Structure 1
């Protein structure tokens, strides 16, 4: 799966899920999708599939815990303090530039953590 497919597979997670922000930050949902795709394997190999599921759950849990420690919450609305399900509030959110501060920082955090997971995996394999 290329980066464009990954982007489109997760696009609805912006603003929680489609702006309905009682959900976790979209970067957590997208990162969870990425982890599943990154570690996917044949379901025919039951032992390997079980190990992959365990690893995915562990990494997703670590990501969520670290995210909450850094940002104080995993819920979109609590982070950005705008109701993006309301078109007027969404426009205020866009114009405020808060997404440059909070959303971009959340994305950077998740990317760094995903790289950390990959580095740990490579170190363990060595």
Structure 2
């Protein structure tokens, strides 16, 4: 997404690294793809805070899109909480290694990433349609 939208910067990638495994493996948190996608939405729609009306509209849109993403995610996966999705405690090094070796990340995590990317592209398509 970051390359497709002109936000092609390693800063975006690095800003979301801690969201792997919830938040730094502390999985009582939402799936990291939801947090990372929310960061992306904020950066994608950012504008000057000097323009109060435009900033208000951007904040409203960001919150709406993030809420839509979270609701759709929960409908598809049954939860937004990392630990509930993968059933491993990745804050424990032994459990983390079991998680990696299990390959469940291919089934669960990659599907979650694909879902979020598809939804973000849907938001982009809506943005382009509205601008036309």
Q: TM-score, normalised to structure 2's length?
A: 0.94
The answer for the alignment partner of 2:61 in structure 1 is 55
CA deviations 1:28-65 (Å, max 9, x no partner) are 00000000000000000000000000000000000000
| Partner SS, residue 16 of structure 2 | helix
| Partner SS, residue 23 of structure 1 | coil
Between the aligned partners of 2:9 and 2:74, the Cα distance in structure 1 is 26
The answer for the alignment partner of 2:87 in structure 1 is 81
CA offset at residue 2 of structure 1? 2.8
Q: Which runs of 4+ in 1 moved over 4 A?
A: none
Q: TM-score, normalised to structure 1's length?
A: 0.98
Provide structure 2 residue ranges, at least 5 long, that are not aligned to the other structure: 1-6
CA offset at residue 107 of structure 1? 0.2
| Partner SS, residue 88 of structure 1 | helix
Provide structure 1 residue ranges, at least 5 long, that are not aligned to the other structure: none
| Partner SS, residue 96 of structure 2 | helix
Q: Which has the higher helix share?
A: 1
CA deviations 1:6-28 (Å, max 9, x no partner) are 11110000000000000000000
Residue 50 of structure 2 is aligned with which of 8, 29, 44? 44
